[in-house]
Amino acid sequence: DTGVSQDPRHKITKRGQNVTFRCDPISEHNRLYWYRQTLGQGPEFLTYFQNEAQLEKSRLLSDRFSAERPKGSFSTLEIQRTEQGDSAMYLCASSRGGAQGTEAFFGQGTRLTVV
């Protein structure tokens, strides 16, 4: 399967714990996005990368969230000191990139539940 891959698919964690999610994009795609989605809402932009460079992080995102894409391939999203409000689906997408904005393809997401 050469699509976008996310791991884990589901994560249940206790409030206050740290969690890390991984995303493997489509191999020839240089742009990678992270989104968060809650029930009844569209995907909310978190951050994105062009190769290994993080281009933008949402101003709505607290300092507890950090993302990396160290070699321009896979990416990780870490949430420190999780809160119940962090419970959501975390979606990763990749695209061929560029400022013109090409269509992106999504992974199946990581569903986070903070208890």
In degrees and rounded to multiples of 5, residue 4 shows phi and psi of -75, 135
Tell me which of 2, 27, 41, 84 binds another protein, using CB under 8 A: 41
Rule CB under 8 A: is residue 2 a binding residue for another protein?
no
Among 32, 43, 65, 79, binds another protein (CB under 8 A): 43
Contacts of 62 (CB under 8 A, 6+ apart): none
Count Cα atoms within 13 angstroms, Cβ side, for 77.
29
Count of alpha carbons within 13 Å of 53, Cβ hemisphere only? 4
User: Any contact of residue 54 with another protein (CB under 8 A)?
Assistant: no
Residue among 55, 62, 83, 113 that touches another protein (CB under 8 A): 55
Looking at 18, 56, 78, 85, which residue binds another protein (CB under 8 A)?
56
